[in-house]
Structure 1
Amino acid sequence: MAYRSGYEDRHDGFYQIPHLVNQWAYYFYHHIRERNIDEIQSMYEVSFLKLSDRYYKAAPWPEVQHIQEVVDQDHVFCLLYKEMYFRHLYARCQPTLRDRCDSWDNYCDLFGLLLTSNVNMQLPNIWLWDMVDEFLYQFQSFCQYRGKVQSMPPEEIENLKKCEAKKVWNTIEVLNILQALVDKSGIVAEVEGDGGARLCEQNGYYPHSSNVLRMLGYFSLVGLMRVHCLVGDYYTALKAIYPLNLHERRYLFTQRIAGAHITLFYYGGFSYLMQRRYLDAVRCFNAVLLFIYENKSQYRNSPQFDQMLKKNEQMYQLLAICVALCPVAAKSLDENVLMQLRERHSDNMTAMNRSDIDVYDTLFREGCPKFVTSTPPAYDQATTNTNQLAFRAQLNAFLLEVRAQQTLPQLKQYLLLYSSINLARLAALMDCDEGALRQQLLCLKNKQRQLKWDGGKDMTAGTWTVASDLEFHIDVDPETGLEMVLVSDTQQVATYAPFLAHHIARFEQIIADLTVPRVAAAPPTAVRA
Structure 2
Amino acid sequence: MDAATSELVPDSVKSFVVHMYRHIREKNVYEIHQMYESSFQTLSERLFKETAWPVVDAVAPYVDNDHVFRLLYKEMWYRHLYAKLAPTLKQRIDSFDNYCSLFQVVLHGVVNMQLPNQWLWDMVDEFVYQFQSFCQYRAKMKNKTEQEIGLLKQNDQAWNVFGVLNFLQALVEKSTIHEILQRDKEGLEQFTANDGYDYNGGSNVLKVLGYFSMIGLLRVHCLLGDYHTGLNCLLPIDISQQGVFTSVIGSHITTIYHYGFANLMLRRYVEGIREFNKILLYIYKTKQFHQKSPQYEQILKKNEQMYALLAICLSLCPQVKLVEEAVNAQLREKYGEKMSRMQRYDDEAFALYDELFSYACPKFITPSSPSFEEPLVNYNQDAYRLQLKLFLYEVKQQQLLSGVRTFLKVYSTISLAKLASYMEVDEPTLRTILMTYKHKTHSVAANGKIMSNADVDFYIDDDMIHVIDSKPSKRYGDYFLRQIAKFEGVITELDRVKLE
The two structures have a TM-score, normalised by structure 1, of 0.84
The CA deviation string for residues 392-414 of structure 1, in whole angstroms up to 9 with x for no partner, is: 11111111111111122123213
> Superposition pairs for residues 154-193 of structure 1, below 5 Å?
154-164=146-156, 167-193=157-183
Cα shift at 1:467: 2.0
> How far has the Cα of 1:445 moved from its partner?
2.6
SS of 1:410's partner is helix
1:494 maps onto 2:473 in alignment: yes
Q: How big is the alpha-carbon RMSD for the aligned residues of Structure 1 and Structure 2?
A: 2.4
Aligned equivalent of 1:265: 256
Alignment of 1:291-440 (within 5 A): 291-328=282-319, 330-355=320-345, 356-381=349-374, 383-421=376-414, 423=416, 426-427=419-420, 429-432=422-425, 434-440=427-433
Match of 1:42 in 2: 34
Report the residue type matching 1:186 in the other structure.
Answer: T
In structure 2, give the amino acid aligned to 1:284.
E
1:431 Cα deviation from its structure 2 partner: 4.7
Separation of aligned partners in 2, 1:466 and 1:337: 20
Q: SS state of the match for residue 30, structure 1? A: helix
For structure 1, the residue ranges without an aligned partner over 5 or more in a row are 5-13, 453-458, 477-484, 508-529
TM-superposed deviation, 1:460: 4.6
Deviation of the 1:450 alpha carbon: 3.0
TM superposition shift of 1:475: 4.3
> Which amino acid letter does the alignment assign opposite residue 296 of structure 1?
K
Aligned length: 475
Is residue 231 of structure 1 aligned with residue 224 of structure 2?
A: yes
Q: Secondary structure at the match of 1:168?
A: coil
Cα deviation, 1:448-488, whole Å, max 9, x if unaligned, reads 22335xxxxxx454333362324253744xxxxxxxx5342
Shift of 1:387: 1.9
Partner of residue 9, structure 1: none
Tell me, yes or no, if structure 1 residue 468 matches structure 2 residue 455. Answer: yes
Note if contact 1:32-1:122 (Cα within 8 Å) is conserved in structure 2: yes
1:78 is aligned to 2:58: no
Instruction: Find the residue that maps to 1:471 and give its secondary structure.
Output: strand
Residue 419 of structure 1: CA displacement?
4.4
| Structure 1 residues 116-195: aligned runs within 5 Å | 116-164=108-156, 167-195=157-185
How far apart, CA to CA, are the structure 2 residues paired with 1:445 and 1:126?
Answer: 44
Identity %: 45
Kindly indicate whether residue 280 of structure 2 is the aligned counterpart of residue 289 of structure 1.
Answer: yes
**Structure 2 Cα separation of the partners of residues 3 and 217 of structure 1:** 41
Residues 392 and 16 (structure 1), Cα distance of their counterparts in 2 relative to 1, 3 Å cut: same
Partner of residue 54, structure 1:
46
**SS at 1:386 equivalent:** coil
Specify the code of the residue in structure 2 equivalent to 1:183: E
Distance between the aligned counterparts of 2:474 and 2:147, measured in 1?
68
Preserved CA contact (<8 Å) 1:450 1:467: no
Residue aligned with 1:198, SS: coil
Cα pair 1:64 1:81 within 8 Å, conserved = yes
Partner-residue secondary structure (3-state), 2:467:
strand
Does the aligned pair in 2 maintain the 1:188–1:242 contact within 8 Å?
A: no
Q: Distance in 2 between matches of 1:128 and 1:70?
A: 24
2:487 corresponding residue in structure 1: none
Q: Is residue 26 from structure 1 mapped to residue 13 from structure 2 by the alignment? A: no
SS at match of 2:381: helix
Contact map agreement 1:149 1:382 (CA 8 A) in 2: no
Scaled by the length of structure 2, the TM-score of the pair is 0.89
The structure with higher relative contact order (CA 8 Å, sep 6+) is: 2
Letter of the 1:322 counterpart: C
Separation in 2, partners of 1:474, 1:15: 86
Partner Cα distance (2:472, 2:164) in 1: 50
Report deviation, 1:199.
1.7
| Aligned residue type for 1:277 | R
Of 487-496 and 184-193, deviating more is: 487-496
Report which of the two structures shows the higher radius of gyration computed on alpha carbons: 1
Matched letter for residue 334 of structure 1: E
Tell me, yes or no, if the aligned pair for 2:416 and 2:465 is still in contact at 8 Å.
no
Task: Check 1:382–1:412 CA distance in 2 against 1; reply closer, same or farther (3 A cut).
Answer: farther
Paired residues of 1:41 and 1:124 also in contact (CA < 8 A): yes
- Cα deviation code 1:289-347 (max 9, x no counterpart): 1221222111111110000011111111111111111113x222222222222221111
- Measure, in 2, the Cα distance between the counterparts of 1:187 and 1:120: 18
More deviation in 319-328 or 461-470? 461-470
Distance 1:244 1:489 in 2: 34
Counterpart of 1:486, as a letter, is I
Alpha-carbon distance in structure 1 between the residues aligned to 2:453 and 2:231: 22
Q: 3-state DSSP class of the match of 1:473? A: strand
Unaligned runs of 5+ in 2: 485-500
Change (3 A) 1:35 1:439: same
Q: Secondary structure at the match of 1:406?
A: helix
Once the two structures are superposed, what CA deviation does each residue of 1:125-175 show, in whole Å capped at 9, x if it has no partner? Answer: 1111111111111011000100101221222112111111xx100111001
The residue type equivalent to 2:410 in the other structure is L
- 1:250-272: CA deviations, max 9, x gaps? 4x211111111111111111111
